[in-house]
Chain A
């Protein structure tokens, strides 16, 4: 860049020019003297013929100048001096902008990565998801294989259509067996997405046949398990104790559908096409387990394709009324929109809210600036009087604001990066693509654009005043109480800010109080030193008896291990978040099937309550003898006993649960033999839920998770794997977790909500403070003369303070009333959303009101005190 070099070479250039001109004149004078003139005459003539030396020098210099840049730099230097002169103002303005811009940039970082980024596949806008629409349910439903096959073969509006469903798959035969996150897909799943394999090939159509056993590995599995060895392609691997052939490797980073943990292995729907015992899933019209993704055919719009599928669904509903009568329509949704689900509107709404906050920040800074400009009106009037142009003054004001916005924006980006880094781990499980969130060029461009927009917004009011010639007052009159300066817009802004910050604070305190209750709730069991893991027992090799036997053996062996205090198994485990909600009939109060009570159930082995640390309140726990040869029994928790048997003992009562074992014929009556404490099932529930427990041997539904109490905690993982491998080389150990980690992880979602809402509330509160401060400062400045007269006429300082404060008191009170009403509404909404009886609103609302009022008082105090300390002689001197 030439001009940068020029800028620095300037001094040399100017020196050279001056020297050159001097030499020129000397030479000329010498020449003229040679022609006979004396020195004085020669000098005069030489100067006359040369012209105005200063002007020539100046013109020479001007050749090298960039007036806009240089005036701008001068303005910038001046701007920094101005900011240093008023550090309080500079801090308030920069902090306001930094928070406003920071919040907006932080949210944009998330919006950019999560919502704006297209799916990483060719023509991602042609990808759609397909779901069933059940007349009885508001939610989109999955497809069954027969319906998917019908759609795939008959819908011409799609170039390709693929099914997928998640399923854990056990890889064995290479050291200890491992459990992989897998998908069972139709043959052209990858081709539909339009990606190429990193090695090998994708599946073939004939590999959907029931006897085909092929897999595609994820790049990560290929490198971590197989060491990136390409000879693995075509080689056999053991999946679920059955040999499979590896045909290809997916590209690195492949993740569909946007799971927080990407899938590790894929196999074809051949897995669902074979079953020894029942009708294979691929032929059950009623077994709705499939997701589907499709690529629209060229030239076909999403609406056309949708109409076609609806027609097909209606035809199927007519042909198969038993299973599909109510499923006569479909949903066809752009893939990205569907995969993001609820996060998309949530993120966008939050971004909109935060942007509104940023605009408020701009309004407040503009207001602060207006107060300051008013302070400098005499300076501007003077400059105009001695011939300065108002364009130049506006340019200077804008430059100053640009400096302000620039600093604010830089600080904002730092705030944003820190906030995102701090909050993102909490969002990892709830927000799709959270792991891809980063500050890229687009984010930085957005920040720069925001800084420019901010400059424009905060410069507008003062620039408008300058342009309208408001500064052109006769010198000697200071800022005066202008009667035309009623400011309904700014007053409304203050009311709105007070109201909004009150609502946000109320919401934040409700969330905080709820969070504290969750943290402090009695879990009903002892999570310390409690570890859990799961085993995969393939149904083909583990029929019911072997499965029960395996679990029994495993618990015995674990119990005999040194360092293990207790071991047992159960499902679902406390805090697992999973719920099995099943109806039951109370023997002494029978009711119709539709009226039967429901409650969560769990299946546990003997010793379970002792292992997790739930106290036995009455009766007995389960024993080894509670198997299929002995009377059917149940244990219930206290919440269950109180809910369904209030005022009497639940012991000895009989229930007929809807949950039955294959070994039972019809529903069996079970006796309640024990009552235990309330171990929490839900991760975030604050109220204990009723639970009834079944002994595992009387209801062996799959393999329960193992719980082990040991001070060694996760250090025992290798021991677990060794024990299981010794029992069966084909069984994988997975999901090894400490309960305390589960607890911490479970709290991340409410913690995130609390931090985000709390952060926004805090910013809103600070904005309210700067808004009030700006408004009052401005008004005090404008009324300096009036206040001076009042003081001179004997007004007391306290009266002056109350006069200033009265001005905004109405606004604050109006804001608090509005905000309070909205706070009540927010409370109702939050309660619905959180699905719990939260803490009482009144004290929280009162606390929030107090905080807002306190902030308002502090913000008003400084300008009010300034008003009170106005010296009448100072104020009136200019008259």
Chain B
């Protein structure tokens, strides 16, 4: 099962990446998928399809808005853009993500120093 392998993404990671990518510039779905893939060094390899339910969820929450446009290559694409609500959501997500990283670091950190402290 391919999807099982992707479960290592922490919850909300996809949203976070989408929001962050869209903050740089509005993108359509395929471009978004490619960007995330490239930006994460293929580390967080998302199954491309799973992007769309996530986009729909974020549309419904009002974090994104979408419009149909023509891409540089002349394709009819649906371009997503961050709303104000999406901006503040991203700020919130980033700070809570950083808190989480900080937490993980603290949990991992003392283990190392404890070893050093041991006589």
Indicate if the CB atoms of A23 and B75 lie closer than 8 Å: yes
Q: In this assembly, does A16 line the interface, its C-beta being within 8 Å of a C-beta of chain B?
A: yes
Whether A21 contacts B75 in the complex (CB less than 8 A), given A28-B30, A51-B47, A64-B60, comes out as: no
> Within B53-79, which residues are at the interface with A (CB < 8 Å)?
53, 55-57, 59-60, 66, 68, 73, 75-78
Indicate if the CB atoms of B75 and A52 lie closer than 8 Å: no
Nearest-Cβ distance from residue B108 to partner chain A, whole angstroms: 34
Indicate if the CB atoms of B53 and A16 lie closer than 8 Å: no
Indicate if the CB atoms of A51 and B30 lie closer than 8 Å: no
Q: How far is the CA of A113 from the CA of B2 in the complex (A)?
A: 69
Q: How far is the CA of A56 from the CA of B46 in the complex (A)?
A: 13
Nearest-Cβ distance from residue B88 to partner chain A, whole angstroms: 19
> Within B2-32, which residues are at the interface with A (CB < 8 Å)?
2-3, 28-30
Name which residue of chain B comes closest to A47, CB basis.
B49
Q: How far is the CA of A627 from the CA of B2 in the complex (A)?
A: 122
Indicate if the CB atoms of B30 and A56 lie closer than 8 Å: no
Q: Give the number of chain A interface residues (Cβ < 8 Å).
A: 24
Whether A63 contacts B60 in the complex (CB less than 8 A), given A51-B50, A52-B49, comes out as: yes
Q: Give the number of chain B interface residues (Cβ < 8 Å).
A: 24
Q: How far is the CA of A51 from the CA of B3 in the complex (A)?
A: 9
Q: In this assembly, does B48 line the interface, its C-beta being within 8 Å of a C-beta of chain A?
A: yes
Nearest-Cβ distance from residue A35 to partner chain B, whole angstroms: 13
Q: How far is the CA of A681 from the CA of B13 in the complex (A)?
A: 94
Q: How far is the CA of A21 from the CA of B78 in the complex (A)?
A: 10
- On chain B, the residues within 8 Å of A63 by CB distance are 53, 56-57, 59-60
- On chain B, the residues within 8 Å of A13 by CB distance are 56
> Within B26-45, which residues are at the interface with A (CB < 8 Å)?
28-30, 33
Q: Which of B52, B66, B68 contacts A56 (CB 8 A)?
A: B52
Q: How far is the CA of A24 from the CA of B71 in the complex (A)?
A: 12
Nearest-Cβ distance from residue A787 to partner chain B, whole angstroms: 56
Whether A56 contacts B53 in the complex (CB less than 8 A), given A49-B47, A51-B3, comes out as: yes
> Within A283-332, which residues are at the interface with B (CB < 8 Å)?
none
Q: Which of B29, B57, B60, B73 contacts A20 (CB 8 A)?
A: B29
Indicate if the CB atoms of A16 and B52 lie closer than 8 Å: no
Q: In this assembly, does A60 line the interface, its C-beta being within 8 Å of a C-beta of chain B?
A: yes
Q: In this assembly, does A50 line the interface, its C-beta being within 8 Å of a C-beta of chain B?
A: yes
- On chain B, the residues within 8 Å of A51 by CB distance are 2-3, 47-50
Whether A60 contacts B3 in the complex (CB less than 8 A), given A23-B30, A24-B30, A27-B30, comes out as: no
Indicate if the CB atoms of A50 and B78 lie closer than 8 Å: no
> Within A718-773, which residues are at the interface with B (CB < 8 Å)?
none
Indicate if the CB atoms of A24 and B56 lie closer than 8 Å: no
Whether A24 contacts B53 in the complex (CB less than 8 A), given A16-B78, A51-B2, A64-B60, comes out as: no
Q: How far is the CA of A24 from the CA of B28 in the complex (A)?
A: 9
Q: Which of A23, A56, A64 contacts B76 (CB 8 A)?
A: A23
Nearest-Cβ distance from residue A47 to partner chain B, whole angstroms: 9
- On chain A, the residues within 8 Å of B47 by CB distance are 49-51
Q: How far is the CA of A59 from the CA of B50 in the complex (A)?
A: 9
Q: In this assembly, does A556 line the interface, its C-beta being within 8 Å of a C-beta of chain B?
A: no
Name which residue of chain A comes closest to B57, CB basis.
A63
Q: How far is the CA of A23 from the CA of B49 in the complex (A)?
A: 12
Indicate if the CB atoms of A23 and B50 lie closer than 8 Å: no
Indicate if the CB atoms of B78 and A20 lie closer than 8 Å: yes
Q: How far is the CA of A17 from the CA of B76 in the complex (A)?
A: 13
Q: In this assembly, does A225 line the interface, its C-beta being within 8 Å of a C-beta of chain B?
A: no
Q: Which of A49, A55, A60 contacts B48 (CB 8 A)?
A: A49
Indicate if the CB atoms of A27 and B75 lie closer than 8 Å: yes
Q: In this assembly, does A587 line the interface, its C-beta being within 8 Å of a C-beta of chain B?
A: no
Q: How far is the CA of A60 from the CA of B59 in the complex (A)?
A: 11
Q: In this assembly, does A349 line the interface, its C-beta being within 8 Å of a C-beta of chain B?
A: no
Q: How far is the CA of A35 from the CA of B19 in the complex (A)?
A: 29
- On chain B, the residues within 8 Å of A379 by CB distance are none
Q: How far is the CA of A27 from the CA of B34 in the complex (A)?
A: 11
- On chain A, the residues within 8 Å of B48 by CB distance are 24, 28, 49-51
Q: List 27 A-B contacts (CB under 8 A).
A: A6-B60, A13-B56, A17-B56, A20-B52, A20-B77, A20-B78, A21-B49, A21-B52, A23-B30, A23-B76, A24-B30, A24-B33, A24-B48, A27-B30, A28-B48, A50-B49, A51-B2, A51-B3, A51-B47, A51-B48, A52-B49, A55-B49, A59-B53, A60-B53, A62-B53, A63-B60, A64-B56
Residues of B within 8 A of A (CB): 2-3, 28-30, 33, 47-50, 52-53, 55-57, 59-60, 66, 68, 73, 75-78
Residues of A within 8 A of B (CB): 6, 13, 16-17, 19-21, 23-24, 26-28, 49-53, 55-56, 59-60, 62-64
